[in-house]
């Protein structure tokens, strides 16, 4: 039987973040009265002691583990050790404590960075192990994939019910727009809006623009995570995406059009492109979760641009 989340005490790690806040809103809309969000200032989830205190104080029945330390290509290159440790340590301690307390269900949010660098397109979940991830984000991707292996082992040995989803690149309102650590869409939106407002005649973009990416609106991702929490009991990897891709060059052109920026787009080819292509096969999500993305790409971009224009001064 599906898990009725409205009757559960649900901890959402990362619940105050970009994706987590939408997951919490959707839980509340489902009637869940006990949505609990551990904050970093109170609980260091990379340490066993912090995880133990969180479980003791919040007494969850279901844990949705969204918390992560991650950034764009530059941030991944600058912090490979920290990103591996933080993401591996959080999953390690949270899953082990879940076993000790006979948690009803543990949902791990993985990453598309776990896929091998040269995965055949579209990415299918069965191809997760055919090679090594793209180098600039491999430590982060390997840590997240190791959490899936841990959940599989704990399911087999201890009977811990779990789920594992792999969202593609997310975007939407409340994203991280810091140019030093943000992902591509918020970074491009901020560059274009800033250039338009300042009267600049050009912007500079990383790489060649030849690589492709797939993007998923944050609300759609949140719904996919909750569907996995409701219907999955074993951590079979499940892609969450749209099944369509766009080159970074075309993405920049589209964002420039939607923001009204009419200047020159210059490419810094000394900067890395990252993984050559990303596009998911989402068949398993449709079959196992009854889920598919609902928000069109241009509509999602418009909502994101509108949010940034309204909140740029506060978040700058």
Q: Kindly give, in sequence order, each residue whose CB lies less than 8 Å from that of residue 173, ignoring residues fewer than 6 positions away.
A: 218, 303, 304, 307, 308
pTM for the model: 0.93
What pLDDT, on the 0 to 100 scale, is given for residue 183? 83
Report the C-alpha gap between 226 and 229 in whole angstroms: 5
Q: Are 110 and 148 in contact (CB under 8 A)?
A: yes
Strands across the sheet with 34-36, in order? 34-36, 9-13, 62-65, 105-109, 162-167, 237-240
SS3 for 171?
Answer: strand
What pLDDT, on a 0 to 100 scale, did the predictor assign at position 315? 64
Q: How far apart are the first and last CA of the chain?
A: 46
Q: What is the mean pLDDT of each run of 10 residues along the chain (316 residues)?
A: 95 97 98 97 98 98 96 85 97 98 98 93 96 93 98 98 97 91 90 94 92 96 98 98 96 97 94 84 98 98 97 70
Query: Of 55, 83, 115, 140, which one is the catalytic site residue?
Result: 140
CATH 3.40.190.10 fits 5-174+216-243+279-294, yes or no: no
pLDDT at 222: 98
Task: Kindly tell me the burial class for residue 258, based on how many C-beta atoms sit within 10 Å of its own C-beta (0-12, 13-18, 19 or more).
Answer: middle
CB 234 within 8 A of CB 155: yes
For residue 140, indicate whether it is catalytic.
Answer: yes
- In the chain, where the domains are located: 5-174+216-243+279-294
Written as six digits, the tokens of 274 are 């990252």
Report how far residue 312's alpha carbon sits from residue 178's, in angstroms, rounded to the nearest whole number.
11
State the angle between helix axes of 138-158 and 80-100 in degrees (0 to 180), rounded to the nearest 10: 10
pLDDT tens digits, one per residue of 110-131 = 999 999 999 999 999 999 999 9
Which DSSP symbol is given to 31? T
Distances (CA, A) of 216 to 208, 222, 263, 292, 295: 23, 10, 27, 10, 8
């Amino acid at each position: 039987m599906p898990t009725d989340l409205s009757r559960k005490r649900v901890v959402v790690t990362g619940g105050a973040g970009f994706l987590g806040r939408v997951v919490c809103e959707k839980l509340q809309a489902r009637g869940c009265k006990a949505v609990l969000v551990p904050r970093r200032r109170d609980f260091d989830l990379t340490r066993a002691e912090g995880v133990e205190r969180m479980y003791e104080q919040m007494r969850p029945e279901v844990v949705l583990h969204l918390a992560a330390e991650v950034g764009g290509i530059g941030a991944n290159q600058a912090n490979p050790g920290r990103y591996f440790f933080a993401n591996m340590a959080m999953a390690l301690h949270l899953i082990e404590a879940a076993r000790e307390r006979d948690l009803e269900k543990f949902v791990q949010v993985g990453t598309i960075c776990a896929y091998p660098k040269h995965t055949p397109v579209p990415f299918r979940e069965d191809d997760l192990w055919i090679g090594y991830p793209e180098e600039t984000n491999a430590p982060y991707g390997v840590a997240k994939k190791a959490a899936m292996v841990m959940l599989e082992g704990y399911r087999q040995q201890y009977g811990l019910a779990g789920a594992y989803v792999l969202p593609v690149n997310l975007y939407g309102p409340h994203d991280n727009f810091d140019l030093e650590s943000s992902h591509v869409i918020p970074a491009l939106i901020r560059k274009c809006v800033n250039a338009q407002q300042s009267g600049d005649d050009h912007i500079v973009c990383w790489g060649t623009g030849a690589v492709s990416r797939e993007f998923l609106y944050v609300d759609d991702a949140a719904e996919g995570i909750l569907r996995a929490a409701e219907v999955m009991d074993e951590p079979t990897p499940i892609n969450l995406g749209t099944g369509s891709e766009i080159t970074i060059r075309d993405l920049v052109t589209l964002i420039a059009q939607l923001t009204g920026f009419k200047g020159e787009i210059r490419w810094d080819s000394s900067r890395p492109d990252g993984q050559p292509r990303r596009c998911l096969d989402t068949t398993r999500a449709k079959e196992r979760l009854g889920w598919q993305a609902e928000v069109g790409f241009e509509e999602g971009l418009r909502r994101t641009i509108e949010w940034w224009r309204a909140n740029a001064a506060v978040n700058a």
